[in-house]
Amino acid sequence: MLHIITLLFNAIDRYSIWLYAFCLLLILYYMRSLILARSERSNTIFTIEREVAAHKEGRALSGIGVMLGLAVIITGFKYYVVPNVDIEMIADPTPTLSIIVPTRQVPTPTLEPTTVESTPTTVVQQQPTATLEPTDTPAPPTNTPPPPPAACPDPNNRITSPGMNASLSGRVAIYGSAAHGQFQFYKVEFGQGEDPSAWHVINDIHHNQVSGGVLEEFDTTAVPNGVYWLQLTVVDQSGNFPPPCRVRVVVQN
């Protein structure tokens, strides 16, 4: 562990300029993504495309913040931690001296063998008794059928799993199909409550069609327990979309 810390300090001290350059390049890349996203949001008239552009802006701002934080951490290590820590003392700790104290050997007295008369003993053999252990009859397994899938308006755009009123916990894969003759992208959203007033995109939008596969992965540990609705929306090249497919689920972590 001390060896790893020493390598980390030396790397930051020697290659800090390259680390700064790496952070600067990523900041420029995220700034370019932010400018393009803002331009897309200002030039479009469709609500969904504005939501997508706003999502890209958020990712770009998060990337800029992470790179600035990394640059601050590098600066703190180089100018405040490394100058005040003796790396050689960490890498080569002072050995401890052990003193061997000689011990005095005490002669072991020898005992003269003595003859002891043994008396014969009678061994009584006991007959083993058989014990019957109760046997547990296993209960027959109960097979609970899975919840039925939702009845979606378009068979090409549907969520097949989880089914209606399914109980979810942990990370859950959402299966189904998302296809269109003029496909542009699809997204999977979630809304809280029986009648959600707001919808939130799960992870990101997807530009590849899916037929009977994994559409998205929902981390239910990031939301409170309760009733939620999942919504699949497929958008075509003109920005229009057919009625979305919705599924009611219950999060129980």
pLDDT score for 7: 76
- Residue 32: which pLDDT band, with cuts at 50, 70 and 90? very high
Tell me, yes or no, whether 145 lies in a domain: no
The reported pLDDT for the residue numbered 245 is 94
Are 167 and 243 found together in one domain? yes
The pLDDT value recorded for residue 40 is 85
In a domain, 81, yes or no: yes
The residue out of 66, 91, 116 marking a domain boundary is 91
In a domain, 212, yes or no: yes
Highest mean pLDDT among 49-63, 69-83, 219-233: 219-233
- Domain boundary residue, one of 41, 70, 91: 91
Q: Which domain holds residue 34?
A: 2-91
User: Which residues are 124's β-sheet partners?
Assistant: none
The answer, as to whether pTM is greater than 0.95, is no
CATH for 179: 2.60.40.650
Find the mean pLDDT for residues 101-118: 57
| pLDDT at residue 92, rounded to an integer | 54
Contact call for residues 56 and 29 (beta carbons, < 8 A): no
Residue 208: its pLDDT value, please? 94
Domain stop point among 57, 74, 91: 91
Q: Specify the pairing of strand 166-168 against strand 245-251.
A: parallel
Flag whether pLDDT at 79 surpasses 90.
no
pLDDT of res. 128: 57
Task: Report yes or no on 190 lying in a domain.
Answer: yes
pLDDT of residue 15: 81
Q: Is the pLDDT of residue 113 over 60?
A: no
With a CB cutoff of 8 Å and minimum separation 6, the contacts of 164 are 147, 148, 149, 150, 247, 248
Domain count, the chain: 2
Q: Is 112 part of a structural domain of the chain?
A: no
Would you say residue 239 lies in a domain? Answer: yes
**191 found inside a domain:** yes
The C-alpha angle 15, 16, 21, rounded to 5 degrees, equals 100
Q: What are phi and psi of 11, to 5 degrees?
A: -65, -45
Determine contact, residues 40/11, Cβ cutoff 8 Å: no
